[in-house]
Amino acid sequence: MKILEDFSNIFTRYDLNIEVARQEARKVSKDATLQTVADAVVVGETEECEAATKAALAAKSPMEVINDGLIPGMNEVSRLWDEGVYFLPQVILASDAMNAGIALCEEKMGKAMDKKGKVVTHTAEGDIHDIGQVIVNALLNANGFEVVNLGADVPVDKVVEACRVNNPVMVTGTALMTTTMTAFPKIAAQLKRLGLNIPFVCGGGAVSEEYVTSFELGIWGKEANQAPGMAEDALAGDNWNDMRSKWNG
């Protein structure tokens, strides 16, 4: 007869085990103060993150705290999201915590942190839920891009105007509803007319690859976490055609 030595799985409520147990952030820094900063981002605690950032700033430069604490923390959140451990609310809370930390660092620097390039983001006109865009913004921020966040329910003209004024490396559009994504080809056409050949990444619940690749400039964004990689490509000089063949099809 087999004698059980471990009783832990008897009477375990498997139905309660629907999410992978809350995971710790992987170690992102050998430095304990910076790790504390990253941990605060991972758990999405804004006040904790501000306190940790202040503590870290006593010994580290603001850019160190951003690059070796806050951003690696957000990247951990991105990983946990990819792996299905984290859900949307946690990503939003983490992004708030990171932004609060970055604000303190920028305050100490006396200027905004140097950004790689600008990305204009928006949610289509008629679509009031900017939840997909919230993640895109957070991940682009975490990867050092300056996000020109136009928010939700943005008219075509406003998106085009923001592109003209800001000259971003990339522009993104999110749509959750099939009724609203029809704004995307209109935006692309106006950008083309103005000679602004900016890669236009479109994604969201209702948006299909076939639709987005049916108009010029359009690149289909399958998942929010592709945004930083796409922005890097755009920054490196890839045009919309290069990006489409790399990310779509």
Partner 1 sequence: MTGKERVMKVFNHQKPDHMPCFSVNGTPTYEQMEKVGAYWPEAHERAEDMAKLAMAAFTVLGFDAVRVPFCQTFEAEALGCKVKSGGKENIPGIDHPPAYKLEDEPVFPDDFLQRGRIPQLIEAVRILKREVGDQVAVIGGIIGPFTIAGAMLDAVPILKASFKEPDKLLPFLDVAEKAGTALGKALIDAGADLICVEDMQASPDLIAPRTYRDLELEYQRRQVQALDVPVILHICGNVDKIVEYMTATGAEALSLEPKSDVDAARRNAAATTIIIGGVDAATTLFMKTPEVVKEAAREQIEMGLDVLAPGCAIAPGTPTDNLLAMVEVSQEYTS
Chain residues binding partner 1 by CB under 8 A are: 15, 18-19, 44, 87-90, 92-93, 96, 126-131, 134, 152-153, 177-180, 182, 205-208, 210-211
CB of 29 to partner 1, least distance (A): 25
Encoding tokens for residue 216? 């010029």
Distances (CA, A) of 156 to 30, 84, 211: 47, 34, 17
- CA dist 119 and 126 (Å) reads 21
CB of 236 to partner 1, least distance (A): 31
CB of 85 to partner 1, least distance (A): 10
CB of 19 to partner 1, least distance (A): 6
Name residues whose C-beta falls within 8 Å of residue 151's C-beta, 6 or more positions apart in sequence. Answer: 122, 123, 130, 133
- CA dist 19 and 33 (Å) reads 29
Residues 50, 104 contacting (CB under 8 angstroms): yes
- CA dist 244 and 206 (Å) reads 19
Q: Based on CB atoms, which residue is closest to partner 1, 148 or 177?
A: 177
- CA dist 73 and 65 (Å) reads 11
Q: Based on CB atoms, which residue is closest to partner 1, 63 or 89?
A: 89
Q: Based on CB atoms, which residue is closest to partner 1, 96 or 106?
A: 96
Q: Based on CB atoms, which residue is closest to partner 1, 112 or 128?
A: 128
Q: Based on CB atoms, which residue is closest to partner 1, 20 or 112?
A: 20
CB of 110 to partner 1, least distance (A): 30
